[in-house]
Amino acid sequence: MGENYINLPNKIALAFLFLISFAVHSQYYHGLDIGINTTSATLDIDGSSNSENAIGFSVGYMYERDLSNMMFIRLGVSYNRRSFKAESVSGVTLYNEKWSSDAIELPLNIGHYLNFNQRNFQFFVDAGANIAYNNRATIKNDTETIYLDIGKDADIKRMAFGANASIGLLIKKRVKFRVNYYHGLSNMANTDGYNWKNKTFSIALNYFLKEKEIVY
């Protein structure tokens, strides 16, 4: 079991080395992806519930390829921190907590330009799925920070799955501004009867290392 989890990051790295190689030979556009997010959650774990939004961040690298003058495919790798506030009741004492999960995520989206032409500003929409490799989860309260165990028989599952959708604007064929919603589809909690699914709104900025060409 332990060996499989140790090897999984290496498998992810090899997969993305393949994607990078594929991108170089397929006229992909690639660049930086940074953003901030606000997360709430469907949460019911050991007396903790009533989640409220808190601020997190993401940073990563992404690739896009135009499938036509109107359609594109988007994929990448990003490091995401999703945080939210919750309440925990122990006896008659109410605790305020901050939950956080850090994950390496692999998004894959299909997109459509709403008015693609040679102008400098183009609206777009895209949607797809996320696969996440959870590598840290914490609960902070007024007195301590609790580090949750991650793995097959631990507090939190190693893998998580979700769906996302975005709307945004391509500016001068090089910069993309996007608003994204992520909805967790899999339960991150390992214990029967417990539930943890993140729901995240984010604002991100993508910068291509070269201008996108128009495909006719």
Q: What is the pLDDT of residues 37-93, one digit of tens each?
A: 999 999 888 878 778 899 999 999 998 988 887 889 999 999 999 999 988 876 555
Residue 37 burial (10 A CB sphere; 0-12, 13-18, 19+): buried
Positions in the chain short of pLDDT 50:
1-6, 23, 216
What is the reported pLDDT for 188? 95
In angstroms, the CA 197 to CA 180 distance is: 17
Residue at 72: amino acid letter: F
What is the reported pLDDT for 198? 95
- Could you tell me if 59 and 207 are in contact, meaning their C-beta atoms sit under 8 angstroms apart? no
- State both tokens at 19: 């994607």
What is the reported pLDDT for 9? 58
pTM (2 d.p.): 0.82
Give me the chain's average pLDDT, please. Answer: 85
In angstroms, the CA 6 to CA 11 distance is: 10
The closest alpha carbon to 208, from 79, 109, 118, 76, belongs to 76
What is the reported pLDDT for 20? 54
What value, to the nearest 5°, has the Cα angle with vertex 21 and ends 17 and 26? 140
Class of domain 2-208: mainly beta
Match 């994204």 to its residue by tokens: 180
HEC letters along the chain: CHHHHHHHHHHHHHHHHHHHHHHHCCCCEEEEEEEEEEEEEEEEECCEEEEEEEEEEEEEEEEEEECCCCEEEEEEEEEEEEEEEEEEEECCEEEEEEEEEEEEEEEEEEEEECCCCCCCEEEEEEEEEEEEEEEEEEEECCCCEEECCECCCCCECCEEEEEEEEEEEEECCCEEEEEEEEEECCCCECCCCCEEEEEEEEEEEEEECCCCCCCC
